[in-house]
Amino acid sequence: MQKPAVCVIVPVWGAEKTLSRCVESILSQQVEGGLCCVLVDDGSPDNCGAMCDEYARRDPRVTALHKEDGGVSTARNAGLDLAYADYVVFLDSDDALRPGALQAALDAQAADPDSFVLWNYTTDANDPAPVTAAAQTRPQDALARLYLDCLIAMPWNKLYRCDLAKLLKFNAAYTLGEDLQFVLDYIALLGRKTPHFRYRVLESALTFYDCSRDGTLSTRYHPEYCAIWPEHFAKLNAACADANCPAEDLLPLHRAELRVYGEGVADILRRDPLHPGVLRRQKARNALLNPWLLGLLRQMRREHCYSPYYLPLRWRSLHWLYALSEAARTGSPLFGKLDWGGYYLLLGRMKRP
């Protein structure tokens, strides 16, 4: 059996309305060396399982796998176990590949065999921009900047070497941010196998990301948010240190991390369902004592790295933090006033972005 050039792995759950768009976008790709597709029905409660079987019956390039509902990480892991190709691409069942996407990614890889190929995405299903293999090469110390450019945290905008990806697993213990962990593990593994690898970032958007859906992991409340993100950020910061990322990228990275964490604490106050009133405030206060957070605040103080979230978190002011978060969420001009107020309280000793 000849090994295809690329295998696309699709975890499927509750995607009856979008699955056809997703799968057709894969099967319509023209790829030198061929492609295959693994559809992993993760115990979907709708008609997705039958749809996966029908695609497998009609097209020999498609394999349908059925398993009990274990979450997206277990579905991707099951797909990896079956993957047989030179490269692997992940795609979510409510998203789609743009025409020519896979060949553009493979062409970019062929132009620089030691690189890790990544690409942008579009939220416009009818994006008229052409898909090409034109790409920029970035060194390993660009890792922090790539995260800030929204290119690292997701698994589905990358071309993975199949032999390396199959050595890894998505951590099913996480219900948030597990994608970042997998990508960082892959980068570390790739660095050991190919010490001088580079990032090759395609200028074209190859994936259509459907952000119209409701009730996704990005919109639901996460009770363990403030416990999980410090673990992810600690791993990201360690990877950035190993890559010798420059200070001009680390400062905005630390600001971004502080904001993510601050918004998580504010979300406890806003909508934690199990801790109403006084218990919500106690849970939020406990989150302000997280060792990773305290370490980040100390580091930002040494770096003179200002963020509007710095003083509310350092002074453990839940009232100030919540007001800042609500102003940011609603687009209120109060955000700017609180931002500059915190900066002036520090007497200009820290650097604004």
- Find the distance separating the first CA and the last CA of the chain, reported in whole Å: 55
Q: How far is CA 260 from CA 83, 98, 249, 273, in A?
A: 35, 31, 17, 20
Residues 204 and 241 in one domain: no
Residues 245 and 167 in one domain: no
In this predicted structure, the answer to whether residue 215 has a pLDDT above a threshold of 50 is: no
Q: How far is CA 174 from CA 45, 73, 180, 182, in A?
A: 22, 9, 11, 11
- Domain presence at residue 265: yes
Residues 167 and 275 in one domain: no
- Domain presence at residue 26: yes
Residues 313 and 196 in one domain: no
Q: Give the pLDDT band (50/70/90) at residue 213.
A: low
* Residue ranges of E strands in the chain: 6-12, 35-42, 62-67, 87-90, 96-97, 115-122, 135-138, 158-161, 198-208
Alpha carbons 180 and 155: distance in angstroms, whole number: 7
The string of pLDDT tens digits covering residues 92-130 is: 999 999 999 999 999 999 999 999 999 999 999 999 999
Q: What percent of the chain has pLDDT over 70?
A: 97
DSSP SS3 for 8: strand
Q: What percent of the chain has pLDDT over 90?
A: 93
Widest Cα–Cα separation across the chain: 69
Q: What is the pLDDT of residue 211?
A: 83
Q: What is the pLDDT of residue 335?
A: 97
Residues 192 and 229 in one domain: no
DSSP SS3 for 189: helix
Count of domains forming the chain: 2
The string of pLDDT tens digits covering residues 326-341 is: 999 999 999 999 999 9
Residues 16 and 128 in one domain: yes
Q: What is the pLDDT of residue 217?
A: 40
Q: Sign (positive/negative) of CA torsion 172, 174, 176, 178?
A: negative
Q: What is the pLDDT of residue 99?
A: 97
Q: What radius of gyration, in Å, describes the C-alpha atoms of the chain?
A: 22
Residues 47 and 134 in one domain: yes
Q: Give the pLDDT band (50/70/90) at residue 221.
A: confident
Residues 202 and 256 in one domain: no
Average pLDDT, the chain: 95
Residues 195 and 259 in one domain: no
In this predicted structure, the answer to whether residue 289 has a pLDDT above a threshold of 60 is: yes
Residues 247 and 103 in one domain: no
In this predicted structure, the answer to whether residue 218 has a pLDDT above a threshold of 60 is: no
Residues 201 and 233 in one domain: no
- Domain presence at residue 219: no
- Domain presence at residue 234: yes
Q: Give the pLDDT band (50/70/90) at residue 351.
A: very high
Of 175, 208, 241, the domain-final residue: 208
Give the predicted TM-score (pTM) of the model. 0.94
Q: Which domain holds residue 290?
A: 225-345
Residues 25 and 137 in one domain: yes
**At 349, which helix (H) or strand (E)?**
none
CATH number where 134 lies? 3.90.550.10
Residue, of 36 and 175, whose pLDDT is higher:
36
In this predicted structure, the answer to whether residue 280 has a pLDDT above a threshold of 70 is: yes
